[in-house]
Structure 1
Amino acid sequence: MKQKTIKNALLSLCLLFSGLLFAQKSVNGTVTDADGVPLPGATIVVIETNEGVSTDFDGNYSISAAEGTTIEISFVGYESQQVVVGADAVYNVSLVEGNALDEIVVTALGIKKAEKTLTYSSQTVSSENLTQARDMSFANSLNGRAAGVEIRKSSSGAGGSTRIVLRGNKSLSGDSQPLIVIDGIPMVNNRGNQPGVWGGIDEGDGLSQINPDDIENITLLKGANASVLYGSQGANGVIMITTKSGEDGDAKVTVNSGVTFESIISIPDLQYNYGAVGADKNSWSTTPGNYESGYAEDFFQTGVNYINSVSVSGGNSKTKAYFSYYNTTTDGVMPTFKYQKNNVSFKQSTKLLNDKMTITSNIILTDEKTHNRTPSGYYLNPLVALYTFPRQMDFNDFMTNYQSLNANNVMEQNIYANYHFLSNPNWVLNKQPKDDRIKRAISSLNINYQLSEKLSFQARASYDYSNKTYEQQHAATSNPTNTGENGRWDYKRLNDELFYADGILNYTDNLTDDISLTLIAGASIQHQQYGVGVSVSSGNDGKLFYANEFNFQNLPTNVQVNSALSSRVEKQALFGNAVIGFKDYLFLDIAGRNDYASTLALTGNESYFYPSYGVSAIISQMVTLPQAISFFKVRASAASVGNEVPFNRINPQNTVTAAGAVNRNTQKPFTDLKPELIETTEFGIDLRFLNNKIGVDLALYNIKSTDQFLSLSAPSGSGYTTYFVNAGEIVNKGIEMSLTGRIIEKQNLSWTSTFNFTKNTNEVVSIHPDISGLGTGGGDAVQSRFVAGGSIGDMYIRMHKRDTQGRILLDDNGTPLSTDHELAGNAEPDFSIGWANNFTIGDRLTAGFIINGKFGGEVYSHTETMLNGFGVSARSGAARDAGSVSVNAATESSGAAVSSADPVKWYTALGDRNGIGEPYIYDRTNIRLTQLSIGYNLDTSSLGIPIEGANISLIGNNLLYSAEAPFDPEVAMSTSRSNQGIDNFNLPSTRTIGVNLRLTF
């Protein structure tokens, strides 16, 4: 009831203040350098209210500021300027290059700070860069634009989840993904179910539901030093999203409309010359037949993505508002895949009480619908039968006649072999459809009151609610391995919700002419509840009463309707921060937070404190340096923070199904649980050369994670199957470098470039005295394991058994022998690079591109294994053409050398998914053209219609790449921690090419 009242109050405020929109006017202008070149991304802040905006690509800005207030304009590498607002409405500013770093950045809790005071590394990506090429997942647009960020997308297509890790994996059992924050307030970013080796779909995440056109900028707080004020939630870093606000002046309308066409880049190399023998499912004939080819490529269609949005912005010195509508509609490259997302947002702010009070409200509504998300893995995946179809058969007839009426008057699947993970692709797509829908509402209210010239108070509250429905219907006669005789029904309906509120006091003062002080003190409360609802799966044993009737009334009595377990957690906190400055070149930053977590209740550890300390010194203002050095800053910081404590560890409860059955808990209570501890140290420098034309930001860090949550098998007779301990230590060490350059700066030509370099080394120092290692996922030939002395991401596979000369050993039948699972590589790269570039040519033409590279690391392909086993891989066909496989081998019993092997015997042995995995480990190294855009600003004055601006752009994403692996090594089977670097009949990597039109009225 309380939460509904908050939502109703927020909506009422939005309606109350939106009526003031049409009486608004603006303070606006253009920010340029001394030569008149526009400065995009410059920051404009009203000092009295701390409200700010950024200039657009042409250096234009618009902000509300009452007469008599002061606006400050800053840009990295330039001296900031202050302008007192008078009667004029236009203030054009020309900045000169300087030695001070006065750029304003958004930090933890949404607090704005001067960049020169920061004692840690952070990077900001503007909205122009995020939406430059209109990627279907805006998180992918961070690739290459920031150092220290590892991003991998799933192979599920539009609406799929993205795995983001800042500065390495830090937990053996928890999630190493960062906290997502919108306008200073945490949001829910729960990831749905993920596919595994045997199958499944990626159910998306919260981040994919955001409208990228609403984002003003994204700031990455990469270490616990930067995010300590968010407590244990921020232990893995924070992604700060600042949304757009209303601009001063008459209503401004922006229409953004684009279409991109999506196509697969490549599929596995296949052979079409050899079919099956008789009714066999495998194509192991040795007689060439030159059968139908090309149908595997033809199965995929050209996908179409429509991205359309409209926003309205306006305001005056008292009130401003922003409204937007965003629609994405996708027909994917996989037939029948459809995705649609609708976003509506409304944000307003109003000043009251002689501008001392500012009230800001925001509401974001999302409706996301998906049909037939693309799976990975063996089961219910149309790509398995597509790739392995016996070559001598007619594939088009098989697809067209995928069903027929049987004697029971039920449509029956047409499948060529009764094999446990083979299904007709058209049957899976049409008779086993998957549908999900997510409805979400995020509302927030922010009240800021200026108590005095030096003291202000801010109170905020937000409510994040989502309703998720997932359903898959399996028609009768589907593959009996996972479907009952009359079909199968999988259904779940879940609710997630998060309520957050905080209050923050902010005090700023100059104690003397040389000493400045900023103090922050606050408290917060957060209540979250995840996974409330019901779920049901009739399975392959629960026979539905009537064929193809999918509802609760048709479930047999042996099928339980489960009440989904609710993860109800509350966290309270007190926090504070002090920044002391000396002569504007030496800064000390001290912060601390004390959390009170319900997940630690009854342990005596429910209250835990963690601090951070940092110092920054601007050397270039302390001593005289060579003229070539424009700016030199050093920084150092250290922090300790606890990582999130899992739900239901201390006193796990029995669960009750909707039918009244009790599922007994088998986990021993963990009564002395304590949070994981993450200790971080960071050192960095910021150097500017040649009048700030070249900049180098370098960071070195060391992160130690201890007291991991580990699950062990309980002793027999204890009455439990598992118990937990705090143990284990992980260390991440790394270096990050960001090199920026204003390479060309002329009136009619500019070129800016950013080069990012990241190297992270991860080590599992220890686990637990009683265990040598932990298995965490993978399956069959490849396994992910944590072993002391190893690294998170290590892959263990069965290798060829070899003699002392390195020769592959065979048994007496000529079959290659294998070892037990051995370390074969690690899924994480040795180092990564990103190179982002932007150009302006004259007044009309703009261009940009990003090149990304990953170097080192390994990936594994289950797909290649199975293609060999089925006899459909190109290499198996080439071996039959040659009559044998050339090998360097020996018979184990006799030691006799063997130089050739029978293709059928060799590849069926290597094609066992539980067999030797060594041939299917590939180097992850790849380099790619990630984004390309070419834009043209149209001359609207000649059109005779009231358009302020018009831009048309050609855009492309993931246009081409070079890699050793026969699949895209940057596309993961899933975004879960344990299945990184694994290909298992993943959707092939795709490229998008299209056009976008942006109109401003």
Structure 2
Amino acid sequence: MTVLLRGNQISLYVVDGVPISSDTWNISPDDIETYTVLKGPAAAALYGSRAQYGAILITTKKAGKKKGFTVEFNSTNSVDKGFIAVPHTQHEYGGGMYGQYAFADGFGGGLQDAQYQLWGPKFRGQLLPQYDGAYTPDQTYTTTFGDLTYKGHIKPEPYVNRGYVDGKSNLDRFLRAGFQTTNNINLSASGDKYALRFSLSHSNQKGIVPNTGVRVLNFNTTASYQLSKRLTFNANVNFNKTYSDNVPDVTYGPNSLIYNLSVWTGDEWNVDAPDIRGKWQPGQKNVKIVFPEHVHYNNPWMMVEDWKRGHDKTDINGYMSLNYKLDEHLNVTGRSQITTYSLFRSEKMPWGAFTYARTLGQGDYREDRRNMFENNTDVQVNYNYNIGRLINLSGLVGGSLRNFNYNSNFTSTDYLVIPNVYNFNNSLNQLMTNNFNSKMRVISSYASLDASIGKYATISATGRVDKSSALPNGSNVYFYPSVSGASVISDYVKIPEIISFLKVRGSFATVHGDATATQIGATPFNVYTTLSGSTAGTLTTAFSQYGNNYLSPYGGPDYSLQAVYSTSKPYNNVTAANSSGSIYDPNIKTFNRKTFEEGIDMRFLANRLGLSATVFQYIDGPRILANAISPSTGYASYYINALKTKKDGVEISLTGTPIKNEKFSWDVMANWSTFKEVYSELPPGQSNYNTFFKKGDRTDKLYSTGFVKAPDGQIVYDAGGKPLKNPINQFLGYMNADYMWSINNRFKYKNMTMSFQFDGSVGGIISNRLYSLTMQGGANAATVQGALGKSRLDDDTNAGVSNYKGTYVGDGVQVSNEVAIKYDNLGNVTNYSDLKFAKNTATSTVQTWATQYYGQIQEGMLTSKTYAKLREVVIGYNLPKSWLQGTFIDKVSVSVLGRNLLYFYKGNKYKGIDVEQFNSASAASGLQTPTTRRYGVNLNIVF
């Protein structure tokens, strides 16, 4: 799960005061008592530079103070059904190109029967050779498209729509309802000197993709024991095992179901047909697949039943601590904690499956093993003193030692010798392997002081010193402080009666950090190409052949400031080594981040209405920057301390209780936030950064391919009827939202509660890759509507006709006086005065136009990221206690819930994706499975 806070991803989670390097879903929700979000780097003094963007503090449940034994059972069952956004596809035309198609073998032996798109013939019932037609080697059949003739040995059959059945596409009928069941039982026991809690959770989720799912087993135990009057022992252990036999791949390519089912193939085949369900051609089981194409597309049933990607991850984290109370003012705590995980992922690619890089079709087998171990040990002294009646001082002084170890091993076959034997000894060619090991140590000391001056003010200060092995000697010791203050003015100043509470607050913090990374991929620093000449990769370098590059939690050194190398696939029995493409300034220092924050909190009308507002500013830099340098140096980048950015933002929260009496209450909370980040200082000697950005520019500006336009803004077309592409990338808009908002309402009537939340985002753009691909591939419903639909019908009628140029005329202008367009180095047209424009009259086929407009020019793919959702509705009921009297049950509650119930997006043109999936500064969308609505019921029983 990705959590974005003020535009940055939070990577630190602190459980019961202990930082963990793991996934958040490794903690069962049934074991969480509370969570707190710390915004900005103020938390870094206690938890280190990993908290530079903030932290989420989780407090787990513990046994209560009530003596005795308690049992609690919690069960949640839900169904994922109904997509809030799905691609709008056409069902009038099938596979092929330029209206032509005749199947021979699916490898290109026929007419447009390999790597085809959905620009094939219209479904008219005409006779065409198709993938399931009878093959008669002694019989030749002739298929004609205009002036083009094809002869083959597959008997032509009526070409009709097979995939769109009862108003549902192949994708609709392939995906299914998902189910999730989560059960938790926990036991608590408390006495005079001890408190124990044991919790066991199990979750079983079936995905919306057939034969996919995940199971999660979680065990958590907490214990405390008062060893003496002054000495207390505390401990916690959390064990989590997440495992799946098959995880779908959502990357772009033939290994993606969306790629196969919704983008490049259509209704020329039926996902429920017996031969498609059977997967294998007669007599060639596990060798050759049944499908209309065999180069870039794959049978979806083979993909979910035979092409399996296993996932097995075990996480363990826990701590032990001793607290000794020296006197009523001082106590000492010693604590040691571990976080560790072991990850095993495998992939079994069967014979007959194809991807871009694996064209032989002889399968593969992979294993990806990763192990991480981290230990944090700290000692701290806590103090609390009163100075007279006015001043209270509290705080702590401590030191910590962090040891980090990570190792991974990735191994893949290079095709298989024997089908369906997934063993490294069955590799056709030499194995492709990658090993990686890393270690890091951080020694820290820290302190904090809180001073409370009566009812007038509270002042806090923190400081931390780190020494990290992830930085060069001489630059690896760094200090970062923070200070904050707050005053409740309403406590000592007479204010208007309408104001119940008035508080002002402010803070300053700075944080330094080392060269580390929060995530790591399967093949760090490796390049799998023969004599590639490429430099070594990074921690997140993907295996270049195919498949998803799964990123797991890391938190260790990224080695960006050290010389690294990798080895590539051998050539003529000689291993090729790839050295680092980077060098670094020997005087390089830590990165730096400063933050200023001011806020006000007010409550009105006897605390029935509340307002909280915060203004913040982040100054990032100088960073540790990989600055591009001339290739003539032999390197690609030079690491220096450079580049500053400034982020300004505002957050406003409004709370209210419009109605409140003994039986009924209504609570409302509304949130609104915005931020902008700009480049405030560029690297030395540079007037721009990353080619396009200048000082003062927003960091989320999207530069990419754009249209050439006339002075009045109309698109300019060439003589072939295609829109012209500007030779220089252009500014297309801002990727981040203008603002985010949410509104939550909660009603309570006697024992019943109801809550619902709307939220959304306004502004920002993204390149809608799914819309772009379906348009350039002929699958989008817009290609058969309006002027496009009319011209496409003309294209189909004239398929194969020599010299046919199409009838579609794009909306725009042409240069009418045959003068060449000239550009400056920014892509601006410099000779408008020499150009004459006239309305575009050049014709083209719809396929030619769409391929250029949506496939080559990103400006044509832009989509607004403005949306709104009915995020959640929950209705709960607590059984009256009178009903439970005389039973062994203390409490029973039941609730029903719905999530992602409604999705609001302006216009239908781009409504095929859920833009919330891309809520960061992403330039382009991907091929994720559609977002579903979730309906569930929860039962909670306390004994």
The normalised TM-score by structure 1 is 0.76
- The question of whether the paired residues in 2 share the 8 Å contact of 1:714 and 1:721 is answered with yes
**Which is higher, the Rg of structure 1 or of structure 2?**
2
Q: 1:737 to 1:368 in 2, by over 3 A?
A: same
Rounded Cα–Cα distance in structure 2 between residues aligned with 1:746 and 1:503: 49
- The question of whether the paired residues in 2 share the 8 Å contact of 1:337 and 1:374 is answered with no
Q: Secondary structure at the match of 2:590?
A: coil
Q: Is it true that 1:252 corresponds to 2:70 in the alignment?
A: yes
- The question of whether the paired residues in 2 share the 8 Å contact of 1:803 and 1:809 is answered with yes
Q: Is it true that 1:520 corresponds to 2:396 in the alignment?
A: yes
- The question of whether the paired residues in 1 share the 8 Å contact of 2:871 and 2:899 is answered with yes
Map 1:701-740 onto structure 2 (within 5 A). 701-713=616-628, 715-716=630-631, 718=633, 720-740=635-655
Aligned to 1:966: 911
Rounded Cα–Cα distance in structure 1 between residues aligned with 2:11 and 2:458: 27
Spell out, residue by residue over 1:288-333, the C-alpha distance to the aligned partner (whole angstroms, 9 max, x if none).
6483422231221011111111111220231111111111111111
- The question of whether the paired residues in 2 share the 8 Å contact of 1:389 and 1:395 is answered with no
- The question of whether the paired residues in 1 share the 8 Å contact of 2:6 and 2:675 is answered with yes
Q: Secondary structure at the match of 1:396?
A: coil
User: Please, which of 92, 96, 118 is the counterpart of residue 283 of structure 1?
Assistant: 118
- The question of whether the paired residues in 2 share the 8 Å contact of 1:734 and 1:760 is answered with yes
Spell out, residue by residue over 1:797-832, the C-alpha distance to the aligned partner (whole angstroms, 9 max, x if none).
322221112221111111111123222223321111
Rounded Cα–Cα distance in structure 1 between residues aligned with 2:624 and 2:937: 49
Q: Is it true that 1:228 corresponds to 2:10 in the alignment?
A: no
Spell out, residue by residue over 1:906-932, the C-alpha distance to the aligned partner (whole angstroms, 9 max, x if none).
54334653x012232111111111111
Aligned to 1:273: 92
User: Please, which of 649, 668, 674 is the counterpart of residue 560 of structure 2?
Assistant: 649
- The question of whether the paired residues in 2 share the 8 Å contact of 1:220 and 1:240 is answered with yes
Deviation at 1:708, TM superposition (A): 1.9
Aligned to 1:28: none
Q: 1:662 to 1:598 in 2, by over 3 A?
A: farther
The residue identity in structure 2 corresponding to 1:673 is I
Deviation at 1:969, TM superposition (A): 4.2
Q: 1:731 to 1:450 in 2, by over 3 A?
A: same
Q: 1:353 to 1:344 in 2, by over 3 A?
A: same
Deviation at 1:514, TM superposition (A): 1.0
Rounded Cα–Cα distance in structure 2 between residues aligned with 1:658 and 1:315: 61
The residue identity in structure 2 corresponding to 1:608 is Y
User: Please, which of 757, 761, 768 is the counterpart of residue 683 of structure 2?
Assistant: 768
Q: Secondary structure at the match of 1:478?
A: coil
Map 1:405-420 onto structure 2 (within 5 A). 405=281, 410-420=286-296
User: Please, which of 548, 555, 559 is the counterpart of residue 427 of structure 2?
Assistant: 555
Map 1:81-92 onto structure 2 (within 5 A). none
Deviation at 1:759, TM superposition (A): 0.9
The residue identity in structure 2 corresponding to 1:545 is V
Rounded Cα–Cα distance in structure 2 between residues aligned with 1:443 and 1:437: 20
Q: Secondary structure at the match of 1:487?
A: strand
Map 1:944-955 onto structure 2 (within 5 A). 945-955=887-897
User: Please, which of 80, 94, 97 is the counterpart of residue 262 of structure 1?
Assistant: 80
Rounded Cα–Cα distance in structure 1 between residues aligned with 2:321 and 2:625: 40
Rounded Cα–Cα distance in structure 2 between residues aligned with 1:893 and 1:529: 67
Q: 1:770 to 1:987 in 2, by over 3 A?
A: farther
- The question of whether the paired residues in 2 share the 8 Å contact of 1:217 and 1:242 is answered with yes
Q: Is it true that 1:535 corresponds to 2:413 in the alignment?
A: no
Rounded Cα–Cα distance in structure 2 between residues aligned with 1:393 and 1:409: 20
Rounded Cα–Cα distance in structure 1 between residues aligned with 2:692 and 2:242: 36
Q: Is it true that 1:890 corresponds to 2:813 in the alignment?
A: yes
The residue identity in structure 2 corresponding to 1:546 is I
- The question of whether the paired residues in 2 share the 8 Å contact of 1:319 and 1:351 is answered with yes
Q: 1:950 to 1:512 in 2, by over 3 A?
A: same
Aligned to 2:862: 921
Which range moves more in the overlay, 272-281 or 754-763?
272-281
The residue identity in structure 2 corresponding to 1:826 is Y
Rounded Cα–Cα distance in structure 2 between residues aligned with 1:454 and 1:751: 43
User: Please, which of 20, 26, 34 is the counterpart of residue 187 of structure 1?
Assistant: 20
Q: Secondary structure at the match of 2:63?
A: coil
The normalised TM-score by structure 2 is 0.80
Deviation at 1:745, TM superposition (A): 2.0
Deviation at 1:668, TM superposition (A): 4.3
Deviation at 1:245, TM superposition (A): 0.7
Aligned to 2:493: 623
Rounded Cα–Cα distance in structure 2 between residues aligned with 1:360 and 1:298: 53
Spell out, residue by residue over 1:109-128, the C-alpha distance to the aligned partner (whole angstroms, 9 max, x if none).
xxxxxxxxxxxxxxxxxxxx
- The question of whether the paired residues in 2 share the 8 Å contact of 1:340 and 1:369 is answered with yes
Rounded Cα–Cα distance in structure 2 between residues aligned with 1:407 and 1:287: 33
Aligned to 1:17: none
Aligned to 2:541: none
Q: Secondary structure at the match of 1:400?
A: helix
Aligned to 1:216: 33
Aligned to 2:722: 815
Q: 1:739 to 1:655 in 2, by over 3 A?
A: same
Q: Secondary structure at the match of 1:888?
A: coil
Rounded Cα–Cα distance in structure 1 between residues aligned with 2:396 and 2:285: 73
Q: Is it true that 1:828 corresponds to 2:731 in the alignment?
A: no
Q: Secondary structure at the match of 2:425?
A: helix
- The question of whether the paired residues in 2 share the 8 Å contact of 1:785 and 1:795 is answered with no
Rounded Cα–Cα distance in structure 2 between residues aligned with 1:918 and 1:486: 40
Q: Is it true that 1:490 corresponds to 2:366 in the alignment?
A: yes
Spell out, residue by residue over 1:441-492, the C-alpha distance to the aligned partner (whole angstroms, 9 max, x if none).
1121121221100111111111011000111111122115333543112221
The residue identity in structure 2 corresponding to 1:237 is G
Aligned to 1:101: none
The residue identity in structure 2 corresponding to 1:167 is R
The residue identity in structure 2 corresponding to 1:904 is V
Q: 1:364 to 1:410 in 2, by over 3 A?
A: closer
Aligned to 1:328: 203
Q: 1:899 to 1:830 in 2, by over 3 A?
A: farther
Q: Secondary structure at the match of 1:550?
A: coil
- The question of whether the paired residues in 1 share the 8 Å contact of 2:87 and 2:913 is answered with no
Q: Secondary structure at the match of 2:840?
A: strand
Q: 1:408 to 1:967 in 2, by over 3 A?
A: closer
User: Please, which of 440, 443, 449 is the counterpart of residue 324 of structure 2?
Assistant: 449
Rounded Cα–Cα distance in structure 2 between residues aligned with 1:864 and 1:687: 46
Deviation at 1:718, TM superposition (A): 4.8
Deviation at 1:358, TM superposition (A): 1.8
User: Please, which of 744, 764, 771 is the counterpart of residue 857 of structure 1?
Assistant: 764
Deviation at 1:786, TM superposition (A): 6.4
Q: 1:911 to 1:398 in 2, by over 3 A?
A: farther
- The question of whether the paired residues in 2 share the 8 Å contact of 1:253 and 1:312 is answered with yes
- The question of whether the paired residues in 2 share the 8 Å contact of 1:676 and 1:707 is answered with yes
Q: Secondary structure at the match of 1:876?
A: helix
Which range moves more in the overlay, 618-627 or 407-416?
407-416
Deviation at 1:611, TM superposition (A): 1.0
Q: Is it true that 1:870 corresponds to 2:777 in the alignment?
A: yes
Q: 1:306 to 1:897 in 2, by over 3 A?
A: same
- The question of whether the paired residues in 1 share the 8 Å contact of 2:410 and 2:433 is answered with yes
Rounded Cα–Cα distance in structure 2 between residues aligned with 1:680 and 1:911: 44
Aligned to 2:138: none
Unaligned runs of 5+ in 2: 103-111, 125-159, 517-556, 792-806, 818-836
Q: Secondary structure at the match of 2:579?
A: coil
Rounded Cα–Cα distance in structure 1 between residues aligned with 2:69 and 2:25: 29
Deviation at 1:949, TM superposition (A): 1.3
User: Please, which of 354, 366, 383 is the counterpart of residue 507 of structure 1?
Assistant: 383
Q: 1:661 to 1:818 in 2, by over 3 A?
A: closer
Q: 1:410 to 1:936 in 2, by over 3 A?
A: closer
- The question of whether the paired residues in 2 share the 8 Å contact of 1:862 and 1:982 is answered with yes
Rounded Cα–Cα distance in structure 2 between residues aligned with 1:405 and 1:417: 13
